[in-house]
Amino acid sequence: MKTLLTGGAGYIGSHTAVAMLEAGHEVAVVDNYYNSSPEAIRRVEQITGKSVTLYEADAADKEKMREILKAEMPDCIIHFAGLKAVGESVAKPTEYYRNNIDTTLTLLEVMKELGLTNFVFSSSATVYGEDNVPPFLETMPKGACTNPYGWTKWMQEQILRDAEFASNDTLSVVLLRYFNPVGAHESGMIGEDPQGIPNNLMPYISQVAVGRRDHLTVFGDDYDTPDGTCRRDYIHVMDLAEGHVRAAEYAVSHKGTEVFNLGTGNPYSVLDMVNAFSKACGHQVKYEIGPRRAGDVQDSWANADKAKAVLHWEAKRGIDEICRDAWKWQSNNPQGYGE
């Protein structure tokens, strides 16, 4: 199968490129390097010993995308390209709506022109919002999102459903709702490389462990959970990547819209993750308890039964492997790709 990954130089895209190549599929990547570096793809090629066709382009540039998609004619497009920082989306909502929604609309329009039919989309557990109680099931109503980033995912899901509905059974759309992607490829050659101060827990812990930051602030220990800290469904990025291989294979052999949670079904608290990481790196990761972060939900985890039943996929790696691989990436690349 020929796949085209928008945003393929990013964190999840680069790991998916490895999984795709290892499964015997071809990979082309379109990225504007807004939040990534072509170095990630060079390393994907090193890990797999296979080559990737790389295009530097904005996925919302219709003429450019027409040219690229015409040249590639992929069996399946996996659309990772997007802006994803929750706090930034509150400060720059129009940039988020423009980039995230425009890329999806552009791809749908060009796909229609060229007769391309299969699309896998990076959605998020954030669409369950504040109104649902975990474990989250795909059939639960999408909730009230707490920020513009979440709304862009919610809206893109709706746009894709509507386009598929109108396509008279020609389009295939797979919506993947990721829980908390963490960890790195086991080689330690590719991993998450956030710009500036990390917003998310695992990159922050990694940077404290490697000495780039003094300590982690735990956002609240007064939640109604066993240790008082929030619980999440942390999924190893290579498990997530393998989920995309199954999803793309499913997309090319079915029509219609399907939505799948990609999570482990197992919740862990913030302090569970600090302790597991401390074990992996061989020293205590320093932390202090701070106030709650606005917008945080207490609990979020998946019911991942549908992906297991339909895609024959389930997460295999646990938090010890997550922390081992994240530490390998961080300790081998203390400044990320920027060295």
The residues that touch ligand UD1, with contacts defined as CB under 6 A, are 86, 124, 126, 150, 180, 199-201, 204, 216-219, 230, 232, 270, 293, 295-296, 300
All residues at 6 or more sequence positions from 107 whose CB lies less than 8 Å from its CB, including other chains: 6, 59, 65, 77, 79, 119
Q: Which of ligand UD1, ligand NAD, none has residue 135 at its interface (CB below 5 to 8 Å by kind)?
A: none
Distances (CA, A) of 112 to 109, 118, 217, 240, 290: 5, 11, 48, 28, 50
Q: Which of ligand UD1, ligand NAD, none has residue 35 at its interface (CB below 5 to 8 Å by kind)?
A: ligand NAD
Q: Does 191 bind ligand NAD (CB under 6 A)?
A: no
| In the complex, least distance from residue 89 CB atom to ligand UD1, rounded to whole angstroms | 9
| In the complex, least distance from residue 284 CB atom to ligand NAD, rounded to whole angstroms | 26
The interface with ligand NAD within residues 76-135 (CB under 6 A) comprises: 80-82, 84, 99, 103, 122, 124
| In the complex, least distance from residue 274 CB atom to ligand NAD, rounded to whole angstroms | 18
Provide the residue type at 262 as one letter.
Answer: L
Helix (H/G/I), strand (E/B), else coil: 308: helix
Range 105-135 burial, b when 16+ CB lie within 10 A, else e: ebbbebbeeeebbbbbbbbbbbbbbeebebb
For ligand NAD, which is the closer residue by CB, 84 or 231?
84
| Active-site annotation holder among 149, 204, 250, 268 | 149
For ligand UD1, which is the closer residue by CB, 116 or 297?
297
Among 4-12, 208-216, 299-307, 312-320, the segment contacting ligand NAD (CB under 6 A): 4-12
Please calculate the CA angle 71-33-262 and round it to the nearest 5 degrees.
Answer: 85
Pairing of strands 26-31, 2-6: parallel
149 is catalytic: yes
With residues binned 3-state (H G I as helix, E B as strand, rest as coil), the percentages for the chain, rounded to 5, are 45, 20, 40
For ligand UD1, which is the closer residue by CB, 106 or 126?
126
Token couple for 142 = 């999408």
- 93-114 helix and 148-165 helix, angle to the nearest 10 degrees: 20
For ligand NAD, which is the closer residue by CB, 9 or 69?
9
Q: Does 11 bind ligand NAD (CB under 6 A)?
A: yes
Q: Which of ligand NAD, ligand UD1, none has residue 293 at its interface (CB below 5 to 8 Å by kind)?
A: ligand UD1
| Closest residue to ligand NAD, based on beta-carbon distance | 10
Q: Which of ligand UD1, ligand NAD, none has residue 104 at its interface (CB below 5 to 8 Å by kind)?
A: none
Q: Does 58 bind ligand NAD (CB under 6 A)?
A: yes
Give the span between the Cα atoms of 131 and 265, in whole angstroms.
19
Q: Are 125 and 233 in contact (CB under 8 A)?
A: yes
All residues at 6 or more sequence positions from 190 whose CB lies less than 8 Å from its CB, including other chains: 14, 15, 18, 40, 43, 44, 47, 184, 329
Give the span between the Cα atoms of 126 and 128, in whole angstroms.
5
For ligand NAD, which is the closer residue by CB, 81 or 238?
81
Residue ranges that bind ligand NAD, judged by CB under 6 A: 6-7, 9-13, 30-36, 58-60, 80-82, 84, 99, 103, 122, 124, 178, 181
Q: Give the residue numbers marked as catalytic.
A: 149
